[in-house]
Structure 1
Amino acid sequence: MTDIEQEATEKAAALEAGRLLFAQECGFVAAAETLDRLPPDSLPEIAFAGRSNVGKSSLVNALTGRKTLARTSNTPGRTQQLNFFKLGERLLLVDLPGHGYAKVSKSQSKNWTFLVKDYLRGRVALRRVCLLVDARHGLKDNDRELMALMDKAAVVYQVVLTKTDKTKPAELAAMIETLSAELSKRTAAYPVIFPTSALEGAGIEALRAELATLALQR
């Protein structure tokens, strides 16, 4: 078997593993507004973070092949808790409150910020954070603040571009190049960027394959 054939075989196996994992039963486990309400960290966890209305809930739904698993809304700031979903007794998927939405109260925003920061710093089972970034707009200051926190806490995170169906190929390529250059300077950033579209399904299989590898980590 040539190197190219070996690579193709491994890629196909990874895609199939991702498909099988995310085809398993996935259900809501818990919603936590405070750290003492977090479920036991007995399974590897993957958290989804990003600015309000970036498409976190839509991506979770697309990954699991379900339309209403995670609540979606056109109104930013609707996710106000850490929402946990158990995937096939293998993973916990965690939908974090969106950051950067100005119309919530200052006290509410402060509470969400403390909750997310404490979760990211202290959750033993957390294997990776998917930092969702709108492909049209790129990183914002709120994203960079969260990245700095994860760099300091040694929490591995990867950038997942959303809404790529709303960008032109050249614009998307330029965005990926710009992000790659910035991520190369970050200590905890996973170097591979995943462009996705929850609407069209682009990149979903590749992201499933990547995340499936984390289900083996205990």
Structure 2
Amino acid sequence: MSETAAAPDWTEAGRKLFGATCEFIFAAARSDGLPPVGAPEIAFAGRSNVGKSSLINALTGRLSLARTSRTPGRTQELIFFDLDGTVRLIDMPGYGYAAVAKAKSAAWGALARDYLRGRPSLLRVFVLVDGRHGLKERDHETMRALDAAAVSYAVVLTKGDEVKAADRGARVAETLEGLSKHVAAFPEVMFTSARTGEGIADLRAHIARLLAERSGPQRD
């Protein structure tokens, strides 16, 4: 009588994955200055000050791996971090910050578009959305660009510790409704908090599973 194989423990796989050494390896300010394609890449996009750098720090268990700032628009390049040679994490410039000069904002946008359209190693983009406010038009613009580029992405709601428990269900439902209009969106939403650690284990598990699916079944 055959035994059914146990389902993988993705939470444990995620814990082990992000328990490895993670370090900064590259910063690209121009699309022709991107590092050579290597390990699979996971990118983090979102409005300025949504918490991309803080989330990367929380995922890796490092307080200052990715530079954080209260000043929106501080990340001006594609920042590459290497997680033990297994996966690269990319902190992208934020969008939607009105105080940034139009020329500079356009340059960041072009850099992001070129990266998203032409990076074969890009496995998934996480579009970070402020959980207090939900999806905005600039988020939809970014998701439409990802749809057009056929890039797989998922929405992560940030700053969950600042969202009232009574409002969470409605915020998730609103977000899922918004995602239904986008063909490349993963139909799932995660609430996270870099401050309390909420949702971090789930996001690590999500990434570990993506990597396992990318590599395919292992042969002896």
TM-score by length of 2: 0.93
**Counterparts of 1:63 and 1:37, CA distance in 2:** 27
Is residue 133 of structure 2 the alignment partner of residue 137 of structure 1?
yes
Matched ranges for 1:35-114 at <5 A: 35-114=31-110
Structure 1's unaligned 5+ residue stretches are: 1-5
Distance 1:143 1:180 in 2: 13
1:157-196 mapped onto 2 (5 Å cutoff): 157-196=153-192
Superposed displacement of residue 134, structure 1: 0.3
Structure 2 CA distance for aligned equivalents of residues 100 and 172 of structure 1: 24
Out of 179-188 and 46-55, give the one that drifted further.
179-188
Q: Take 2:28 and 2:173, find their aligned partners in 1: how far apart are those partners?
A: 37
Q: Distance in 2 between matches of 1:101 and 1:118?
A: 20
Amino acid at match of 1:125: S
The residue that corresponds to 1:3 in the other structure is: none
> Aligned pairs, how many?
210
Q: Distance in 2 between the 1:126 and 1:191 partners?
A: 19
The whole-number CA distance in structure 1 between the counterparts of 2:12 and 2:50 is: 28
Aligned alpha-carbon RMSD (Å): 1.2
Aligned partners of 1:123 and 1:107: how far apart in 2?
24
Displacement of 1:182: 1.6
Counterpart amino acid of residue 113 in structure 2: K
Q: Percent identity?
A: 54
Mapped to 2, the partners of 1:50 and 1:152 lie a distance apart of: 17
Q: Can you list the C-alpha shifts for 1:96-150, whole angstroms capped at 9, x where unaligned?
A: 0000001111110010011001111111110100000000111111111110010
- Residue 185 of structure 1: how far off its partner (Å): 2.4
Runs (4 or more) in structure 1 with deviation over 6 Å come to none
Distance 1:207 1:53 in 2: 20
Q: Which has the higher helix share?
A: 1
